Structure 1
Amino acid sequence: MDLYFTIAIIAVSIFLFVKDYFSIDTTSILIMALFIATGVLSPEEGFSGFNHPATITLGCMFVVSAAVFKSGLIDSLSTKIVALAKIHYLVALVVFCLISATFSAFVNDSAVVAILIPLALSVCRQTGIAPSKLMIPISFSALFGGTCTLIGTSTNILVSSIAKKSGLEPFGMFEFSLPALCLMGIGLAFIFIFSPFLLPKRKFKDENLLKQTENYITEVEILEECKDIGNSLDKSRLLREYNVQILGVLRDKHWIKDFANSDQIHRKDVIRILISPNKLAELKNQSTYKVIGNENHKDEGDISQKVYEMMVPAGSILAGSTILEMNLGHRSHFSVIAIKRREETLTDNLSSARIKEGDMLLVHGSKASINKSIQDKLLIMLSEYSEKKVNLKKAIPALIIAAGVVTAAALGITTILISGMIGCLLLVTTGIIKPKEAYEAIEWKVIFMMAGVLSMGTALEKTGGADMISNFVFQQLGGLDPRITLSAIFLVTFLSTNVLSSKATAALMAPIVISLAAAMEVSYKPFLVAVMFACSLTFMTPVSYPTNTMVYAPGNYKYNDFLKIGTPLNIIIWVAASFIISLFFPF
């Protein structure tokens, strides 16, 4: 019975991952809860993902990566990167791809891409290069770089930890670097040769969006006979009937910045709003409001209010919530006035729009409020790029500690879990990063997702599902050359990852291929390496990996753009990996 429950729950999980009804971390925890509620897993087994070595190691590496990024080491290269990239498009392509691949091998790939996106956009503005010619190559290069080391992606850490938990030898820091570098060489060669032809030369259709939205930022004076006087903003006709966004309230010649939707409207208040053209025409016909346009009422606290172009990065707590739920105007002191997502741009009824990772936002606020949102990792800046100053007192020790974490694990002095933990403690105790910053550096959504998806692998092993599936595969492919089986595993894994989470796919496939290798009486390592590579090297859709999602809106791509360049690249990597992996990891 437990096996049937397991198969049913995994089927439900696949449906939820594909349909995207909930955020990935919510779906993962829901799956874990179902396994516990049905009795497939005990509470201890279900929650064991939270103290799993993969989860703890990943948390430590988030902190180590954050210390390196916070020091400004990568930002310090921005001037040289921009100078080189301005020489020619091909130079820009090579420079951004190599930097993305190199840094993603050792630090969080989403953070690397988050830094490179505004840098690349800055180059595009200065040179006239279309952003669509650079964004996908930056993301794909990060994926290749992540496969080169054990800490390159969370998937590598996850698969290695599953092997160790199964009583097998885990992977070393650079154990699979050589085959990964071979695949990266093939992949980058493809990108350098074919991306100029396969990628569209597409600039933003909404280049005038900023001007359009500013045209409908206006100010309304509340007249004496207005029925909204005494009501809260969220119960006013302005919000209920005209779907406006409140950008500010001028009262007694001073702007109220900490206003909330629950604040009351007073007589003679001047309310700055964002309103659609049609609703603005209706509002002008009302006798209880006086539309006075943007009279630029300012005091010393309002001089920096302007519109910025931002993006929701992977791991942002904004993702999955509506603007109204987050109460951004009161909490973060800025307002969202437009959302660009995939092939659509939203300007109406934004309060109920659910924000997603990779969304581009036009926000109205002060420079201070925008900087705070960047520090809190809510958003990253796209419209402006300012180079971080390097704090050598923190940068050098941070780099030494990060190098020590990698070296200790690479030389086999200790495991990556222990070296990562020691590295985190050194970073905090030496003051390079504060405890609060360490907590904030951890992407808790990823941690919860890891803990949740690990329960799927545990349930498959406990109920015999992994053995059942592996026996089925063995019956179909066991008599063939192991390279054919390896190739089939790679194919199924990367196709699954294009519609599921890479971590969910890894958690499902790792126990299965371990059982399959035992049934075939061959080494488990080539199969696990195939799973690791296939989970990361997924290029066919914008949702297959967080970095693909991040570059979608800034590059102004369409879904088919990923299929056009990603499909041939995935086929080439699949064929190459089928031979290369077995060369370095004999059966």
Structure 2
Amino acid sequence: MELYFTMIIIAIGIFLFIKEYFSIDTTSILIMALFIVSGVLNPEEGTSGFNHPATLTLGCMFVVSAAVFKSGLIDGLSDKIVKIAGTHYIIALIVFCCISALISAFVNDSAVVALLIPMALSVCRDTGIAPSRLLIPISFSALFGGTCTLIGTSTNILVNSIAEKQGFQPFGMFDFSLAALCLLGVGFSYLFLIAPLILPKRNTTVENEFTNTQDYTSEVTIVQGNKDIEKPIHKTALSTDFSAQIISIKRNGDNLLIFDRYTTLKEGDVLKIVISPDKLIKLEAMNMYKISGNKKGLNDAEHPKILFETMIPVGSDLAGSSLKEFKFRNIYNCSVLAIRHREETIHENLSEVTIKEGDLLLIYATKEELNQLIQEKLVILLSEYTKAKINYKKAIPALVIAVGVVAVAAFGLTSILISSMVGCLLLVTTSILKPKEAYEAIEWKVIFMMAGVLSMGTALKKTGGADLISDFVYNTIGGLNPQITLSLVFLVTFLSTNVLSSKATAALMTPIVISLATAMDLSEKPFLIAVMFACSLTFMTPVSYPTNTMVYAPGNYKFNDYLKVGTPLNVIIWIAASFIIPYFFPF
């Protein structure tokens, strides 16, 4: 009976992951709760993910990475990066891809991409290179870099920890680096030679600044004295002078279900319009329309507001809630005037729109107000790039500690969990990070997601579900050549990751491939490596990996762009991995 419950709960979890009714961390905790309530796992087993080595290691690495970023060391290289990258498109492509891969091998890839996006956009504005020509390669390169070390991605840590808990020898820091570097070489060959021929070329003119080429949905109200009152839509200044598209009209509290270009506007009408940001500010300056959500006005002399284009990064507390639920205006005293979610136009009331990671927000705020949002990791700034100042008194010790964490684990002196914990303690006790800063550095949504998805693997192992699935797989393909079996495992894993989260896929696949390797009397290592690589190297959709989601809106991409660029790369990597992994990790 417990096995049936396990399969049903996992099926529910997969459905919720795909449909995205809830955030990924909420779905993960829901799955954990269902396992406990159904009796499949007792409370101690169900919540064991919170003290699992993978979860603890990941939390510590968040703190170590934050210390390196906060020190300004990486920002200190920004001037040289931007200067070199600004010489030619191919040079920019190579520079940003190499930087992205290199840094992502050791620190959180989402943080790396969040740092590089504004830098890349700065180069695009100066050179006329379309952002769509750079951002997808930056994201893909971060994924390749993350596979190169044990700490490169949370997926590597997760798979390694599950295997270690089941009694298998853990991987070292650089055990699979050579195999990963071979795949990185294959990936870079594609990104430098083939991808430029496929990547879309949008927003390529210098005159079209990135911040001025995006259309947003905004809500405006017609005020008394407006010259557009009693005019048909197609003759209003809103249409002729501002090229705004009216998508809905609310009159006396009711939506007009039918309207066309001949419909006349009335005083008090609330219009939802699609308009570019630069024209939006000009519209406000004419005092004919009141922009909803503008608490103090755009041109308050005592509190001057500036137009900022920002993005919701991975782990932002804003993600998963609406501005109204978050009490955004009351807390931060600034206004969100427009929202862009991927390429789709949002029709709902802006204050009630559920914000998602990767969304762009057009914010009117003072620089001080915006800095508060940035410091609290709610948004990252896209409209301009300002590098952090290097604090050498903290930067050098932070770098030494970070290198020490990696080196101690790499030489096998202790586990990565112990070395990262000691590193965190040193960062806090030496005041490089304050305890509050260390706490805020941890992406708690990811921690809760890890704890939740780990319960799936625990349930599969406890109820025999992993053995049952592996027996089915063994009876189906067990007679095939081990290399073909490995190839099919890689294929199923990366296809699953393109619709599920990478961590959920890893938690499900790891116990299954361990049982499969045991049944086939083969080494478990090549299968574990296949799961690690396949979960990270997913390029086919914008939701397959957080970094892919992050570049979607800033690059002005469409869903099909990922299919066109990512599918060939995924197929190439799948074929290459089928030969490279067994070469370095024999069966």
- Smaller-chain TM-score bracket: 0.7 to 0.9
Over 3 Å counting, the alpha-carbon distance change for 1:23 and 1:523 in structure 2 is: same
Match of 1:268 in 2: none
Aligned-partner SS, 2:155: helix
The code of the aligned residue for 1:27 comes to T
Aligned-partner SS, 1:345: coil
- How far did residue 208 of structure 1 move? 4.4
- How far did residue 495 of structure 1 move? 0.2
Alignment of 1:263-342 (within 5 A): 276=272, 298-300=300-302, 302-303=303-304, 305-342=305-342
CA contact (8 A) 1:338 1:345 kept: no
CA distance in 2, matches of 1:396, 1:480: 53
The code of the aligned residue for 1:162 comes to I
CA contact (8 A) 1:338 1:347 kept: no
Over 3 Å counting, the alpha-carbon distance change for 1:176 and 1:293 in structure 2 is: closer
The code of the aligned residue for 1:561 comes to D
Alignment pair present for 1:113 and 2:113: yes
Over 3 Å counting, the alpha-carbon distance change for 1:474 and 1:210 in structure 2 is: closer
CA contact (8 A) 1:338 1:346 kept: no
Match of 1:88 in 2: 88
* Structure 2 unaligned regions, length at least 5: 226-249, 256-268, 275-286, 292-296
User: C-alpha offsets along residues 168-196 of structure 1, whole Å, 9 cap, x if unaligned?
Assistant: 10110000000000000000110000121
Aligned residues: 529
Match of 1:405 in 2: 405
Match of 2:496 in 1: 496
- How far did residue 503 of structure 1 move? 0.2
The code of the aligned residue for 2:156 comes to N
The code of the aligned residue for 1:457 comes to G
Match of 2:581 in 1: 581
CA contact (8 A) 2:218 2:272 kept: no
Match of 2:244 in 1: none
User: C-alpha offsets along residues 511-543 of structure 1, whole Å, 9 cap, x if unaligned?
Assistant: 001111111111000000000000000000000
* Structure 1 unaligned regions, length at least 5: 222-237, 244-272, 279-289
Over 3 Å counting, the alpha-carbon distance change for 1:240 and 1:170 in structure 2 is: farther
Over 3 Å counting, the alpha-carbon distance change for 1:555 and 1:345 in structure 2 is: same
Task: Name the Cα RMSD after superposition.
Answer: 2.4
Over 3 Å counting, the alpha-carbon distance change for 1:240 and 1:173 in structure 2 is: farther
Alignment of 1:1-150 (within 5 A): 1-150=1-150
Aligned-partner SS, 1:346: coil
- How far did residue 346 of structure 1 move? 3.4
Match of 1:535 in 2: 535
User: C-alpha offsets along residues 74-133 of structure 1, whole Å, 9 cap, x if unaligned?
Assistant: 111110011111110000000000000000000000000000000000000000000000
The code of the aligned residue for 2:328 comes to L
CA distance in 2, matches of 1:530, 1:14: 21
CA distance in 2, matches of 1:240, 1:326: 28
Match of 2:363 in 1: 363
Match of 1:284 in 2: none
CA contact (8 A) 1:461 1:467 kept: yes
- How far did residue 274 of structure 1 move? 10
The code of the aligned residue for 1:549 comes to T
CA distance in 1, matches of 2:200, 2:396: 41
TM, length-normalised to structure 2 = 0.86
User: C-alpha offsets along residues 448-487 of structure 1, whole Å, 9 cap, x if unaligned?
Assistant: 0000000000000000000001111111121211101100
- How far did residue 360 of structure 1 move? 0.8
User: C-alpha offsets along residues 321-367 of structure 1, whole Å, 9 cap, x if unaligned?
Assistant: 01110111011222111111121233761011100000011011111
CA distance in 2, matches of 1:239, 1:450: 48
Alignment pair present for 1:436 and 2:407: no
Alignment of 1:220-299 (within 5 A): 241=253, 276=272, 298-299=300-301
Match of 2:553 in 1: 553
The code of the aligned residue for 1:553 comes to A
- How far did residue 216 of structure 1 move? 5.5
- Percent sequence identity over matched residues? 68
CA distance in 2, matches of 1:239, 1:62: 50
Match of 1:479 in 2: 479
Aligned-partner SS, 2:308: strand
CA contact (8 A) 2:211 2:309 kept: no
User: C-alpha offsets along residues 219-278 of structure 1, whole Å, 9 cap, x if unaligned?
Assistant: 899xxxxxxxxxxxxxxxx999499xxxxxxxxxxxxxxxxxxxxxxxxxxxxx997469
Alignment pair present for 1:153 and 2:153: yes
Aligned-partner SS, 1:344: coil
The code of the aligned residue for 1:131 comes to P
User: C-alpha offsets along residues 560-584 of structure 1, whole Å, 9 cap, x if unaligned?
Assistant: 0000011010000000000100000
CA contact (8 A) 2:220 2:289 kept: no
Alignment of 1:495-534 (within 5 A): 495-534=495-534
Over 3 Å counting, the alpha-carbon distance change for 1:220 and 1:64 in structure 2 is: farther
CA distance in 1, matches of 2:471, 2:574: 24
Over 3 Å counting, the alpha-carbon distance change for 1:479 and 1:347 in structure 2 is: closer
CA contact (8 A) 2:216 2:340 kept: no
CA contact (8 A) 1:89 1:129 kept: yes
Match of 1:569 in 2: 569
User: C-alpha offsets along residues 3-30 of structure 1, whole Å, 9 cap, x if unaligned?
Assistant: 0000000100010000000000000000
Over 3 Å counting, the alpha-carbon distance change for 1:275 and 1:384 in structure 2 is: farther
Over 3 Å counting, the alpha-carbon distance change for 1:220 and 1:363 in structure 2 is: farther
TM, length-normalised to structure 1 = 0.86
CA distance in 1, matches of 2:517, 2:126: 54
CA contact (8 A) 2:470 2:516 kept: yes
